[in-house]
Amino acid sequence: MATVVGANRLELLQISEAVAREKSIDKEIVIEAMEEAIQKAARARYGAENEINAQIDRVNGDIRLFRILEVVENVENPAVETDLKSARLDKPDAEIGDFIADPLPPMDFGRIAAQTAKQVIVQKVRDAERDRQYEEYKDKVGEVITGVIKRVEYGNVVVDLGRAEGVIRRDQVIPREHMRQNERVRAYIKDVRRENRGPQIFLSRTTPEFMAKMFEAEVPEIYDGIIEIKAVARDPGSRAKIAVTSNDGSVDPVGACVGMRGSRVQAVVSELQGEKIDIIQWSPDPATFIVNALAPAEVAKVVLDEDNNRIEVVVPDEQLSLAIGRRGQNVRLASQLAGWTIDIMTEAEESERRQEEFVAASKMFVEALDVDETLAQLLVAEGFSDLEEVAYVAPEELASIEGFDEGLVGELQQRAEEALDRKNREAEEKRKELGVSDDVAAIDMLTPPMLVLLGEEGIKTLEDFAGLTADELTSKEDGILKSFSLVNDDLTDLIMQTRVKVGWLTQEELDAINAGEEEGAEGEATEGEA
């Protein structure tokens, strides 16, 4: 661009047009960059203290230089100020506070001035090009784009997108995929960020959304909205599961995605470097959906825990390895797809566990209610598992058990209440021995037996309790209160309220957090409906 400074007037306009065309930016931006470059060179010539303005005629390319002066009463800096008398020689109606443009003679640029001007123009054009790239790609997040691999640096792939460059970071490349220079590649635009070094376009080939877009391109029914992709889970380069449903009863969603002789799914598999894809029929019923998601394994029984978003799946002994998959892949992908935590056990394990639970519950009733083993086993067989159920259930429900009369029911419920009182008194004494504060004991949801377990884990003050998370209390593996039926959301609310009590949060901050979560949930629901 050094030719700009030595160019004749018409060449100046021709150069600006050529640069604008090459960089896909507005010609006006290039001319303004030239004007700024000329201004900078002129300041170097006439003195940096001067306020100089350059104008390039958009029709004939004439360059005009002006020194801008402010009209003041008493001139203190002649470089930028002039008095009223001098100003009125050029502009008869000038007043104090006006600005006048004092023409300067044309100048020849020296080598250093030319180099400075070139740098200014190059920088301005580069900034304009970056702005154009950001504006062009920021609204394309979520689209699939095709580019040519420019180079591979330390596992990161730089892709020429035509009017910009994107990067596929190492962790977004499908494992064992060979990326070679000058090959064409398709990728999902994951993020576009404006940074100091220019807009950064981050691409991905491992994100689940990329696979969903591939199916949309191969299956016209998805593009037309007849078939809807409900969820995708991927182990990139190895295996994936995609859940689909049909909005038209006459269209089989799984068959449509597979295609004639598997042509449609095979096209996606080829793009994803041989990734095995399970296409699954989505169902609004979580149990049915999870059974489908665990295919090809057969499921004998499922038990849902909706409060904690967990599901217990029982499979035949010979199906266990198939259900779990190599290195737990099958159950992990099914869990991601459904959004539920899945616990898998064999029929033999379930039978053994049920037997242990039956024996433990029977023994507890024998000791707590002072009844014989047969009566205790009868209670367990009818679905009673703890003293609270016996004490507070409607008497008619107990009386409906064969061999139970009104007198026996009344006696059993009285003994259950007495056993609970005794248990709570003992737990309350133990709680005090452990040093669990009365403030913690005053929390409504926590019973004396729960307080004992908390105290044994060193949770003794409100601050200790406020520092917990719901998972630390209810996790099936190591939750402090895992033996109690508690709801995660309720516990989270309780912990957050405790944080307000101890001064870690204000009520206003908590309300703002809750409002944000509600808006997020509404947004997700709206997206799901769409």
- Per-residue pLDDT for 519 more than 60? no
Q: Which of 88-97, 162-171, 365-374, 383-392 has the lowest mean pLDDT?
A: 88-97
Encoded tokens for 122: 């190059």
CATH code at position 94: 3.30.1480.10
ω into residue 236 within 30 of 0, thus cis? no
- Please classify residue 87 by burial: count the beta carbons closer than 10 Å to its beta carbon, then call 0-12 exposed, 13-18 middle and 19+ buried: buried
Strand partners, 200: 193
Alpha helix segments (H runs only) across 305-394? 320-324, 329-338, 347-369, 373-381, 387-392
Note whether residue 337 is domain-resident: no
CA distance 325 to 334: 11
Note whether residue 481 is domain-resident: yes
Note whether residue 85 is domain-resident: yes
pLDDT of 517 reads: 60
CATH code at position 159: 2.40.50.140
pLDDT of 257 reads: 93
Q: 38 with 118, same domain?
A: yes
- Per-residue pLDDT for 3 more than 70? no
Encoded tokens for 35: 């004007």
**pLDDT digit string (tens) for 156-190?**
899 998 878 889 999 999 988 888 888 999 999 99
CA distance 232 to 216: 13
More confident residue, 76 or 1: 76
Q: 80 with 182, same domain?
A: no
Q: 187 with 106, same domain?
A: no
Q: Which of 210-214, 320-324, 349-353, 472-476 has the lowest mean pLDDT?
A: 472-476
Q: 42 with 88, same domain?
A: yes
From the list 310, 287, 286, the residue with the least C-alpha distance to 299 is 287
Helix axes 286-293, 329-338, angle to 10 degrees: 150
Give the domain range for residue 517.
461-530
pTM listed for this prediction: 0.59
CA distance 148 to 153: 15
Q: 83 with 65, same domain?
A: yes
Contact 470, 495 (CB under 8 A): yes
Q: 72 with 89, same domain?
A: yes
CA distance 168 to 173: 6
- For 296, 323, 333, 349, the CA distances from 319, given in Å and listed in that order, are 9, 6, 17, 13
Domain end (from 71, 106, 133)? 133
Tell me whether strands 198-204 and 184-195 are parallel, antiparallel or unpaired: antiparallel
pLDDT of 9 reads: 57
- Per-residue pLDDT for 442 more than 90? no
Sorting pLDDT into bands at 50, 70 and 90, what band is 4?
very low
More confident residue, 418 or 32: 418
Encoded tokens for 501: 């009590």
Tell me whether strands 144-153 and 63-72 are parallel, antiparallel or unpaired: unpaired
CA distance 248 to 520: 30
**pLDDT digit string (tens) for 337-374?**
988 888 888 888 888 888 888 888 888 888 888 888 88
Q: 515 with 473, same domain?
A: yes
Q: 83 with 104, same domain?
A: yes
Domain end (from 204, 221, 255)? 204
Note whether residue 181 is domain-resident: yes
Sorting pLDDT into bands at 50, 70 and 90, what band is 528?
very low
**pLDDT digit string (tens) for 40-73?**
777 777 776 777 777 777 777 677 777 777 777 7
Q: 101 with 154, same domain?
A: no
Q: Give ∠ CA 30-135-20 in degrees, rounded to 5.
A: 20
Contact 138, 192 (CB under 8 A): yes
DSSP designation for 247: S
CA distance 454 to 449: 9
- Looking at every residue in the chain, the average pLDDT score rounds to 81
Residue at token pair 């996606």: 268
pLDDT of 56 reads: 77
Note whether residue 107 is domain-resident: yes
pLDDT of 509 reads: 85
Q: 116 with 167, same domain?
A: no
Average pLDDT over residues 432-440: 87
Q: 70 with 155, same domain?
A: no
Sorting pLDDT into bands at 50, 70 and 90, what band is 318?
confident
DSSP string of 271-302? HTTT-EEEEEE--SSHHHHHHHHTTTS--SEE
**pLDDT digit string (tens) for 105-126?**
776 655 555 565 566 667 767 7
Residue 475 corresponds to which amino acid?
A: S
Note whether residue 388 is domain-resident: no
Domain count, the chain: 3
Q: For a pLDDT cut of 90, what percent of the chain falls above it?
A: 19
Q: 75 with 194, same domain?
A: no
Count the Cβ atoms, other than its own, within 10 Å of residue 279.
20
Sorting pLDDT into bands at 50, 70 and 90, what band is 244?
very high
Note whether residue 252 is domain-resident: no
SS3 29: helix
**pLDDT digit string (tens) for 183-240?**
999 999 999 888 777 788 899 999 999 999 999 999 999 989 999 999 999 999 899 9
From the list 14, 24, 2, 230, the residue with the least C-alpha distance to 118 is 2
SS3 71: strand
Q: For a pLDDT cut of 70, what percent of the chain falls above it?
A: 87
Domain end (from 74, 106, 133)? 133
CA distance 83 to 75: 6
Note whether residue 329 is domain-resident: no
Average pLDDT over residues 511-516: 78
